[in-house]
Amino acid sequence: MSTILETIEFNDEGFLIDPKAWNKEIAVEVAKQEGIAELTPEHWQIIEYCRATAEESGAAPTLRQITKGTGISTKQLFALYPKGPAKKVAKISGLGKPEGCV
């Protein structure tokens, strides 16, 4: 585990406990743990959308909200964030688990 992540608290499922503790360095390290070697501008667009949405609503956006809000297709989201994009992007964005995610 990266040294930056050793100083941050995560819950049992790997979600950041305090979203205010999040920063881009943490996002990069969490992404690596989630199997995403590099965060591209497309990744960051989605991360920034999710953080802004969560700040307004108080909850991580669902997959449907992400696709509608960013204009990125579900297929493209799965390519960027394989195996559960809403959950993965929420972790990387420092947010809680989205509603409806198992």
Q: What's the token pair of residue 15?
A: 């979600």
Among this protein's residues, is 50 annotated catalytic?
Answer: no
**Burial 2-32, CB ≥16 within 10 A → b, else e:** eeebeebeeeeeebbeebeebeeebbbbbbe
Q: Which of 5, 8, 59, 101 is catalytic?
A: 101
- Residues classed as catalytic: 101
